[in-house]
Chain A
Amino acid sequence: MTLLEVRNVTKRFGSFTAVDDVNITIKTGEFFTLLGPSGCGKTTLLRMIAGFDAPDNGQILLDNKDIIDLPPEKRPFHTVFQSYALFSHMTVADNIGFPLKMSGKTSREIKIRVAETLSEVELSSFSHRYPHELSGGQKQRVAFARGLINQPRLLLLDEPLGALDEKLRENMQRELISLQAKANVTFIYVTHAQNEALALSHRIAVMNQGKIEQIDEPSRIYNFPINRFVADFIGKINMLDAQVIEASGYHLKLKVTGLGEVMAPVREHVKIGDQGILAIRPEQVRIDPLGSEVAAKFQLVGKIKDFLYIGDVTTYLIELPNSIRIEALQPNSFPGHAKLFEIGDPVVVSWQEHSAQFLPD
């Protein structure tokens, strides 16, 4: 069921268009992420949904009713800020109870609900502490608890994990997923961290320069990026300049600069003569020692130019004919082996036809 609809929303700051004719539909119970580099307009869009900024054009509909004219306090949405925005002069209990107090609940009810919520987020013993007496992770949990206690229709999260260190962030990601499932609240999550978006979301909208590039499930965003920007922004990818020379049935025949003819799966709206890139993820590129049996139809001979060992995996940089370079990712799953190849080793590079794709410009 549709909860929120953003319809043709545009926001300009002077001559700069921060959000450019954006359309999004968010379903009840969804964990929806706005993902993009800084300055792409994702935070501006979130602020318009929260009611802090008004769009120049377009509508924002809740249950099919336009809410543009409602001030933030009248919208049944709560926000978790990047800075947490805890009230420094209030205790943890008063912070969490604030939304209930503002909605006119009795102090008895507030006390009971706050106690319940505190025990849910395991902060009962901290109820009389002030925010400056808490650790980063605890502040985070207070901010979430405060955002959820009055059961908003929508929880807006503005890079809430940005200030945490990496270990803690991974734990908080798990907590966030279970929190959302438990609270049964729709989330709109803003982040520039693509791995966070992939890990958390039901659907992701990739934004760039105020526009939405692609809206899809994480695995489809990763495996089937719609264009060069999305492919490049999400994860690592090899991009080779290519042109379509034949399109038939299920295949495209591409002329890849420096490598000659390469096959790729067909895609809609692509015709002969189109320029673009052949995109392939490093983990889809297979490398074998020269002379070994390789089943793949398409293979090239190259030389290991460099490698980057990061523990669980090693990224090899391979030089192909005509100075074309390609990256291949190899898991280090053989016990005792740090790496499988040395710099200068001749190798066979191959990939399955369907793991590469043509992205038109």
Chain B
Amino acid sequence: MPLRHFFLWIISLLVYAFLYIPLIIVVVFSFNDSKLNAEWAGFTFHWYKVLFNNHEMLLAARNSLIIAVSASILATILGTMAGLAIHRYQLKFLPFLAFTPVAMPEILLGVSLLLFFLQVLNLTLGMLSIIIAHTTFCIGFVTIIVRARLQGMDESIFEAARDLGATPWQTFRHITLPLIRSAIIAGALMSFTLSIDDFVITFFTKGVGEPILPIQIYTMIKVAVTPEVNAISTLLMLLTLTLIIIATRFDTSMLKGDSKQPR
């Protein structure tokens, strides 16, 4: 094997090792029959039982789910509208407005939203403020995906629909929506995964009271990394992974420009 290839292999292996070994360790130790994350003492579901009896943690999970579902629904609707508008009217300014939050540092978004909610809107921080904050940063992702799906689509099909007797609304319902459905679903799933594990923006916009999952996990490890944290992390990882896999399935059918829709 040439030397160059050898080094490439080594580097790739190191990158994947650093990416995935910590995740594997978390999963493995969530089943470890010991209070310490140090040595393997035997298999157990004990920590999952502890987790499901932890009222505070369950409440945090419920809150996070409510936030993620609401924010992803709102972001999907608004992001789809933005994607359609950018595509249809070839607007120069709107992409900039819609995509900026995607590139903006989260800490900046968090601080500015906090100031906006408190000083401009005079809003009491809580579930509502978190949902609004999450919606704002998810819109951009949905917009990008929807717009990508529309690009390269034969424009004349929308005119053809109108021409054959469909009103603008019927054209959207019967033609546009089915054609971009995969992109909308992918965008929604993406928003959900982004929202459910968001820490920084949530931290700034949550206020006091309602426990939120990522914050709750953080508070727990401030004391010690207990196997309970491993268990909740494993569950969260499983959920996110499942959604990402579903999203990429929709996404690849979108990238290939596959005209046959998944039903």
Contacts and interface: CB of A to CB of B under 8 A. Distances in A.
A131 B261 CA distance: 13
B163 A78 contact: yes
A85 B160 contact: yes
A233 interface: no
Interface in A104-132: 130-132
B167 A73 contact: yes
Interface in B156-210: 156-157, 159-167, 170, 174-175, 178-179
A324 B75 CA distance: 74
A100 B173 CA distance: 16
The CB with the most chain B CB atoms within 10 A, among A51, A77, A89, A132, is that of A89
Contact of B163 (A73, A86, A132): A73
A81 B159 CA distance: 10
Interface in B233-263: 259-261
A23 to B, nearest CB: 24
Interface residues of A, number: 27
A131 B259 CA distance: 9
B159 A85 contact: yes
A38 interface: no
Contacts of A1: none
A141 interface: no
A79 interface: yes
Interface in B70-94: none
Interface in A73-109: 73, 77-79, 81-83, 85-89, 98-99, 102-103
Interface in B133-174: 154, 156-157, 159-167, 170, 174
Contact of A130 (B160, B167, B260): B260
A147 B163 CA distance: 9
Interface string A124-161: 00000011100000000000001100100000000000
Given A89-B179, A89-B261, A130-B259, A98 B156 contact: no
Given A83-B154, A88-B179, A72 B163 contact: yes
B230 to A, nearest CB: 45
Nearest to B154: A83
B164 to A, nearest CB: 4
Given A89-B259, A132-B259, A79 B160 contact: yes
Interface string A191-222: 00000000000000000000000000000000
A82 B175 CA distance: 19
Contacts of A85: 154, 156-157, 159-160
Nearest to B165: A102
B156 A87 contact: no
Contacts of B161: 87, 98
Contacts of B178: 89
A52 interface: yes
Interface in B56-115: none
A175 B157 CA distance: 24
B6 to A, nearest CB: 45
Nearest to B177: A89
Contact of A146 (B154, B164, B259, B261): B164
Contacts of B162: 51-52, 71-73
A72 B167 CA distance: 9
Interface string A42-81: 0000000011100000000000000000011100011101
Given A83-B154, A130-B259, A130-B260, A103 B160 contact: no
Contacts of B157: 85-88
Contacts of A73: 162-167
Given A88-B179, A89-B261, A130-B260, A102 B156 contact: no
A81 B156 contact: yes
A98 B171 CA distance: 11
Nearest to B260: A130
Contact of A103 (B154, B163, B165): B165
Nearest to A76: B165
A88 B178 CA distance: 10
B165 A50 contact: no
B164 A99 contact: yes
B15 to A, nearest CB: 39
Contact of B164 (A51, A78, A130, A132): A78
A183 to B, nearest CB: 16
Contacts of B259: 88-89, 130-132
Nearest to A143: B160
Nearest to B263: A89
B159 A72 contact: yes
Contacts of A147: 164
Contacts of B160: 79, 81, 85, 87
Contacts of A82: 156
A3 to B, nearest CB: 18
A152 to B, nearest CB: 9
Contacts of A52: 159, 162-163
B164 A50 contact: no
Nearest to A98: B164
Contacts of A89: 178-179, 259-261
Interface of A: 50-52, 71-73, 77-79, 81-83, 85-89, 98-99, 102-103, 130-132, 146-147, 150
9 contacts: A51-B162, A52-B163, A72-B163, A79-B159, A88-B260, A89-B179, A98-B161, A98-B174, A150-B164
Given A51-B163, A132-B259, 12 more contacts: A50-B159, A52-B163, A85-B156, A85-B159, A86-B157, A89-B179, A98-B166, A102-B165, A130-B259, A130-B260, A131-B259, A150-B165
Across chains A and B, which 10 residue pairs bring their CB atoms closest together, nearest first? A102-B165, A88-B259, A85-B160, A85-B156, A99-B164, A72-B162, A81-B156, A79-B163, A89-B178, A85-B157
